[in-house]
Amino acid sequence: MRSGITKLRPLLLAALFLLYAAPVAAVGHGVDWVVLVDDTGTMRYQSRGEMTVKAIEEFVSLTERGDRISICTYGERPGSALPTNPVVIKDESSKDYVTSHTTFSFDADRTDITAGLEYVWHERARLFPGLAAGGGKGSAAVIVLLTDGKLVPVYDTYANYEKTHRKSRKRLLELASLCAEQGIQICTIGLGRENKVDGELLADISAKTGGTYRHVASASNVAGAYRAIAGERTALAPVKVVEAPGIVDLQDTAAASEASESPPEKKVKQGNTGARPSSAFSAFSSEFCLASAGILAIFIGMIAVGTEKRQKWAMRFSTSLFGTGEKRVRGYLKPIDLAGTTSARACIGLENPGVESVRVGGGTSFLPHVEAVMEFAGTKDGSPPELHVENGIVTVEGEAVATRKLKDGDIVDIEGQRYQYLRGNRR
C-alpha cells in the first residue's frame, strides 16, 4: 500500500500543480482593459452619464476570468474611478466589486482628452500588468475611451487657447502612436450629435492603434458600443502595424447587438487555380505592391496637406465674419450645484455674433420660473457679452449688478441659481 502511494505521489503533485496553476495562468493571459470616461458636466444631460454607468456595468459583466479592468475618468484632473486599479476578474464577486465601487462626478469643466490619455500612458506599467509581464507579447491591452464633446485642453488664458489646442491635439496623436508601439489598442466612442464630437480625431486615434471608432447618437445606445467592443476580444492582439479600420456608426441597439453577437468573419477559401506562380512572378508582385503602396502613401500625404490647409482657411473664415473683422466667440453659463447634489439644469449657450442677445428668466426659454429678468448682449469685437439686469437681483462674483461686462470664470447668481460664465466652445 505504502509503495503504491509512493508511486502515485508524482501524479498527485502534478495534479495539485495544475489545479493551483490554472487560475494563475488564466490571470496572466487575460485582457488588460482600461475604461476611460469623460467626466464633464455635459454627461449629465439627456441621461448620458446614467446610461454610460449602466453600459459599463454590462461591459464588466462581459469580461472573462483572468481579465484585468481599470476604470479612469478625465476632465481637468484625470484619475481613477475605482479605489484600486486594476481589478483582476476572478469570479462574479470581482465584477460586483467593480460595479459597486466605481464612482463618477460628471462635474468637470474641460474635455481634456489629451490629459486623460496622458494619465493612462504614465500609469501604463500599473494599468497593463499583463502587457508589462509579457514584454508586449502574448497579451492584449485595450483602452476604451468615451467622450460626448470635442477636445478642450486646460489653458491659462483664453488669448492663448488656439495655440494650446493645437499643441494638445498634436500630443494626443503622439500618445496614440506610442500606445500602438507598445501594443495597446484604443477603441473610441463619440456620444451625442456628430457636430458636438470630433469624430475625425477620434477615428484617427483609434486607427493609429488598430482600434475602432463608434459614433452613438443617443445615450440609450451607448451600451451597444461597449457590448460590441467586449465582443471583439477574440480579435485583440498586440498591435505593431497601423491600419485604418473605418468608422462604425451605431444608431440603434439592434445594430449594436448584431455587431457584438455576429460570429468572426470566415476566410474565403480559394479555389484550385492550377500551378503555383513562379518565384519571378512572386518577386514582381511584391515589388509592384510595394511601389503601389508608396504611390498611395504619397497621394494620401498630398490630400492630408490639402486638408490641413483647407482647415486653416476655414478657421480663418469662421473667426472673421465675411471679412468684417467680427470675431466669433463662444461662451456659456454652466450650472453650479452644491456639493453632493446634482441638478438637471442645462447650460445656457451664448454665441456672438451668431446671436445678438440672449434673454434669461421671467418666462423666457431659460429659467422661466424665476422673477429676475436679464439680457446678455453680444459684441462684435471678440470680447465677452455684457449683462443687463432688467428686473430682480442678480449678482456677479457676489456683487449685485445692473450692468456688467463678463469675464471668463465669473460666478453669476440668479435668485439662488448659480452659474459660471466660461469662454470658448467647451459644451
Mean pLDDT, the chain, rounded, equals 76
**298 pLDDT tier (thresholds 50, 70, 90):** low
CB 70 within 8 A of CB 78: no
What CATH architecture is 21-261? 3-Layer(aba) Sandwich (3.40)
Range in 161-165, 203-207, 380-384 with the lowest mean pLDDT: 380-384
pLDDT of residue 423: 81
Find the Cα–Cα–Cα–Cα dihedral 186, 310, 197, 351, rounded to 10°.
Answer: 150
Find the Cα–Cα–Cα–Cα dihedral 362, 364, 366, 367, rounded to 10°.
Answer: 20
Q: Please tell me which of 134-148, 254-268, 325-339 the model is most confident about, judged by mean pLDDT.
A: 134-148
**415 pLDDT tier (thresholds 50, 70, 90):** confident
Question: What stretch(es) of the chain map to CATH 3.40.50.410?
Answer: 21-261
d(CA 191, CA 124): 26
Q: What percent of the chain has pLDDT over 70?
A: 65
d(CA 423, CA 353): 14
pLDDT of residue 362: 85
d(CA 70, CA 212): 20
Q: Over 60: is that where the pLDDT of 307 sits? A: no
For domain 329-423, say whether CATH 2.60.200.20 is its number. yes
d(CA 202, CA 316): 23
pLDDT of residue 37: 97
Question: Tens of pLDDT along 137-167?
Answer: 546 899 999 999 999 998 877 778 889 999 9
Region of 143 (left: φ > 0; alpha: ψ -120 to 50; beta: rest) is beta
**190 pLDDT tier (thresholds 50, 70, 90):** very high
3-state secondary structure 213-258: EEEECCHHHHHHHHHHHHHCHHHCCCCCCCCCCCEEEECCHHHHHH
What is the arithmetic mean of pLDDT over 204-208?
Answer: 96
Task: Write the CB contacts of 409 (distance below 8 Å, at least 6 apart in sequence).
Answer: 420, 421, 422
Question: Tens of pLDDT along 56-68?
Answer: 999 999 999 999 9
pTM of the model: 0.56
d(CA 353, CA 381): 9
Question: What stretch(es) of the chain map to CATH 2.60.200.20?
Answer: 329-423
CB 73 within 8 A of CB 39: yes
